[in-house]
Amino acid sequence: MQAPLKGIKVVDLSAVVSGPMAAGILADQGADVIKVETQGGDLTRVIGPTVGDLTALFISINRGKRCIVLDLKQAEGARVLRDLIASADVLVENFRPGALARLGFSYEAVAAYNPRLVYLSISGFGQSGPFANYRVYDPVIQAVSGFADAHPDVATGEPKLLQTLLCDKITALTASQAICAALHARATTGQGQKIELSMLDAAVSFLWPEALYNHSFLDAKPPVVPEFGASQRLWQCHDGWFAMITPQDDEFMAMCRVLGKPELKDDPRFATILLRRDHHHALRDILDPLVLKESVHDVVARLGAAGVPVGKVNEKKDLAMDPQIQHNHTLTDTVYPDVGRVRSPRAAAVFPAVQETPAPLAGHLGEHTRTILQELGRSTEQVDALYASGAVR
């Protein structure tokens, strides 16, 4: 079988993480993604460990794309983009609201010559509203969406930022799913459509189900209960850490047996999941000293074999050595001709019926400009003139 998005052409006008990662997921699933960059290149070409114009961050979210550089403020550069869009199935952009329209590429303008186009606009706060024109990066959305407040410092209760671009990546996953839904709708109706997605909406939607469940019932308000994650803490052994959660009674009893405290199943404080939640401090006071005497590899193996949900904390430097990650081939080493081996995760979704292909590479800045222009019907002389004018690179 072919990859599921084989034959779909995507014009990726987005930059940094949310849009590029969304388009990267489509590339992983077979789409032909053309990444359009400015003369300076995507900001992620200089963030993190860097070799030439490639960074680890850029590679992981832009692999498998073809790269072209256009100056959209020049008429010839804009004309090339128009030709790309005319033959595309999907356009992804995360300009500030109104910016692309001022360049002549609003949804209404491009739908006039490509009505089948699925046009995804990602914004920080939305296309309109009091914050719509604010510049936005991931930490700003973590703050406004409630993520920072939902992950406070355990000691002080102060809100904290997560040390990962979580809201960018949540937006990317939401975006790629929405694009596929719109492509499915187009298969039925023959008509493309515009999708509007804000990072704020994606983050709140992701966070709400358990982190904000005390704020759901507005009329018949039940008593406030502890938030789901409030009592979740890691367990410390003498040589490492692990995570464990036992919401079901059989899991709790199995944990007690493994840790040498089977009598806890008869303690009225721990008889149900709700009682264990309310008395989690007392439970930890009993079990923490026992766990601290254990070896993390041994206790995790015993707990896992007994049916307890458990997993060892992997340090980032050791992640590639985890036996399950090795078994799953989660990480792949790809050889770049001018860089050497580069390690990154493979596409998370596996389609067993699709024949495996060589690992895709991320492109250098403007690497595929000439090839793409030729595909658009430009002659060698016309391509040379575009380079000379600075409209392309």
Report the catalytic residues. 168
SS3 for 128? coil
Q: Give the Cβ contact number of residue 76 at 10 Å.
A: 15
HSE-CB at 165 with a 13 A cutoff on CA atoms is: 18
Q: Which residues contact 334 (CB under 8 A, 6 or more apart)?
A: 63, 341, 342, 343, 344, 359, 361
The helix/strand count (H/E) of the chain reads as: 16, 13
Maximum CA extent, the chain = 85
Interior angle at CA 357, CA 3 and CA 12, nearest 5:
60
User: What CA–CA distance (Å, rounded) separates 376 from 220?
Assistant: 61
Q: Give the Cβ contact number of residue 106 at 10 Å.
A: 16
The CA–CA distances, whole Å, from 179 to 31, 34, 63, 283 equal 12, 16, 19, 47
Go through 156-180 and write b for each residue having 16 or more CB atoms within 10 A of its CB, e for each that does not. eeeebeeeebbbbbbbbbbbbebbb
Give yes or no for a contact between 54 and 337, defined as CB atoms under 8 angstroms apart.
no
User: What CA–CA distance (Å, rounded) separates 65 from 208?
Assistant: 34
HSE-CB at 383 with a 13 A cutoff on CA atoms is: 16
Angle between the N-to-C axes of helices 380-389 and 75-86, in degrees from 0 to 180, rounded to the nearest 10: 130
Q: Which helix (DSSP H) or strand (DSSP E) does residue 93 occupy?
A: strand 90-93
Question: What φ, ψ does residue 38 adopt, rounded to 5°?
Answer: -80, 175
